[in-house]
Each structure stands twice: as C-alpha cells, then as structure tokens.
Amino acid sequence: MKNNTKKLTLKDVALKLNVSTATISNAFNRPDQLSAELRENILKQCEEMGYYGPNAAARSLRTGRTGIVGVVLSDELSYSLSDPVANQFITGMAEVLEANDYNMLLLSATEAGQDVQTRMQASMVDGFIVYGHKPQQYHNAPWLDARKNVVTVDSAIPGTPSVNVTNEQGAYDITKHALVHKPKHIAILGLALLDTDRVCRIRDDELFDAAASISIQRLAGYRRALSESDIELPPERIWNIPHNNHKLAYQAAREALMMANRPQLLLCMSDRIALAALQAALQMGIRVPEELQVVGFDGIPESETFHPSITTIYQRTVSKGRIAAEIFLGLRESKDVELETELIIRESSPAL
C-alpha cells in the first residue's frame, strides 16, 4: 500500500505553530536566540508532529556551506584517537566547533591516495584543518586546493595560516637544562626524521625539510644547544623512530642503551618515546637519573604520573586545537600563530 503521508517542511511547521520559520530554525540550530521556555515548547510540539529539524542538505544548497570541517590527522584514526597529544588537540578544536554549530569529519591522511574517496570527502566539507601535514607523502591531497579554507597545525602549507609551538626553542631549552649534569655520552631518539618505516640511525642527507617537519625543528634545537657546549653528536647516535608508539620506541632505546659508550642522556622527541626509554633502562638495571637522564617533549599526563616522572617540554595542545578552529571559523585573524613552550623539570633529569 502506498504511503501518502506528506513529509513536513519547515514552512509547514511554522504555519502550524503560528511562528516564523526563523524561530523554528533557531530552536534547532541557535538556541541562544530564544528563551528556554519558548524553545522547549517548540521542540516538544515538533516532536509530537514528527518533525525533527531543518534538512541539512537543503540548508547546504541554500547557503553553499555544509557546516562540516574535515579534520585531517597525519596517522591512522585508530592511532590518533588513542594518542594523548592528538586527543588533546581534537578536544580543544571540538569545544570551539560545537559552540558554533559546526561538525567534524575525521579523516586519515594515510588514505589520501584513494582518489574517489578524497574527491567525495572534499565535496562534503567547507574546508580542512590539517594536523601534522607531511608534504613529502601527499602531493595531490584535497586540502592542497587553494580554493578551500585550510588551516594547518604542527606543520605548514604555503599560503595557509598555521598553528605551531616553539619546537626548536623547546628542544634547545631542555637540552641546556640536561647538559648541566655534564653527561659524557648522548643519544637522540628522534621521531619521523626520515622517509622510512624502519627504526634506524640517520644520515643527514636523508633528513626531511626543516620547514615541513616539527621533528627536524626539534633536532635543530638539540644540536644548537650541544654546539654551544662544544659537543659534536655524530649521526650514528641519532635514531629514527618512524611512528610514535611504544614498541618502536622501546626497540630504539634498547639499541641505544646497548652501545659501547652507553648514553648518559637520551633526548627523546616525545613523551611516549621517553616513557618507552625509561622502561627499557629500568628493565636493563640502569638507574635513572643517577646513570641515565631521560627527557621528553609534549607534557602528556603520563609524563607526570610515571615513576620516575619525566622532565619534558610542555606544549599547549588543547589551545592549538581551539585556535585552529577559531581561525577556520573566522573568529580569529587568519595568520600564523606560534605558542610558547615550557620546560617542566622532574625526576628523570632533576635540577642540580
């Protein structure tokens, strides 16, 4: 039997309730424009007649906007959602977007090569917030389209505003602090310094472009501080860890700590790497900080709760998310923003 029930439109509902279409729309999309009592009454009556809000597709056709921002994460979604730094970034961004009736479409940059999927994604969003862009891997991604509204975070795309932290200065500050203890042997556990999926030691001629990689900026900060103390660190004492996870970081830490001239200082490019390095050292019977200092970067909660607690560089990750969303929505001037980092001294590399 054919169903002749007519689907209610915004205009139909407004006529039935004897209010304007704008009032109905505000009840669903802009509650701050109505009194709580009026909004509650409208929503109740709409529910009773089977109307559940203005059609999003129709609204998109009228305004040319979908109300959706594509959030491009540099790693797989399963990793990004469990990573404490990425999680804090998403939290800060979501606070601003939700307050302004915007939705997020989470995307993984690792799938950028799937042309059909990326074209579909580009048509669904008003623009992109790109977290950790890696230009050496994604040459034809939809967020490189100059016609799109794009904001980058922890990276840079020419012609788009970016939100970053003082990565080089933070790495410099933590190295200067650790060198006060006068370690004789040093190693760096780096993150995604090379275009490879292997845990390996680096060659300088293989390093990514400094402007495109926060890891290269941190490496420059380490090297500047070491140079000022007349310490030359050869490439074979710098490890590349392709992904910021425990297994790979633990492998690199074990290799470093088994060197003939065992490091007395490990400069780790993330707190996750530092946590793995500490676990490797403790399992090998190496005392921290008496025989080995370990320092990290990021300021994740685990860096404080682990024992020994980790000396680290704190970055305002939640603020990065908020600022990126504000720039995207036009609530803040469209220009580059660089947030200051802070040295947090704890047990793994204490003050003298």
Q: What are the average pLDDT values for consecutive 10-residue runs of the chain, which has 352 residues? A: 56 88 78 83 86 60 73 85 91 93 85 51 81 69 81 90 97 98 97 90 76 84 97 94 94 97 97 98 97 98 97 97 96 96 98 92
Helix (H, G, I), strand (E, B) or coil at 125: coil
Which pLDDT value is given to residue 141? Answer: 76
**Based on the structure, what is the number of domains in the chain?**
3
183: which residues sit within 8 A by CB, 6+ positions away?
263, 264, 265, 293
Asked if residue 150 and residue 34 are part of one domain, the reply reads no
Within 10 angstroms of residue 292's Cβ, the number of other Cβ atoms is 23
Asked if residue 248 and residue 137 are part of one domain, the reply reads no
Within 10 angstroms of residue 243's Cβ, the number of other Cβ atoms is 15
How far is 268 from 295, CA to CA, in rounded Å?
A: 6
Helix (H, G, I), strand (E, B) or coil at 311: strand
What pairs with residue 131 in β-bridges? 73, 153
Which pLDDT value is given to residue 319? Answer: 97
Asked if residue 306 and residue 174 are part of one domain, the reply reads yes
At how many degrees (to 10) do helices 271-283 and 246-257 cross?
A: 50
Which pLDDT value is given to residue 213? Answer: 81
Residue 121's domain spans which residues? 68-164
Asked if residue 146 and residue 174 are part of one domain, the reply reads no
Asked if residue 263 and residue 235 are part of one domain, the reply reads yes
Which pLDDT value is given to residue 113? Answer: 46
Q: For tokens 């992109």, what's the residue? A: 128
Asked if residue 221 and residue 146 are part of one domain, the reply reads no
201: which residues sit within 8 A by CB, 6+ positions away?
235, 236, 237, 238, 239, 240
Q: How far apart are the first and last CA of the chain?
A: 84
- For the entire predicted model, the pTM comes to 0.80
Asked if residue 311 and residue 178 are part of one domain, the reply reads yes
User: In this structure, what CATH number is given to the domain that contains residue 84?
Assistant: 3.40.50.2300
Which pLDDT value is given to residue 224? Answer: 97
Helix (H, G, I), strand (E, B) or coil at 47: helix
Asked if residue 83 and residue 33 are part of one domain, the reply reads no
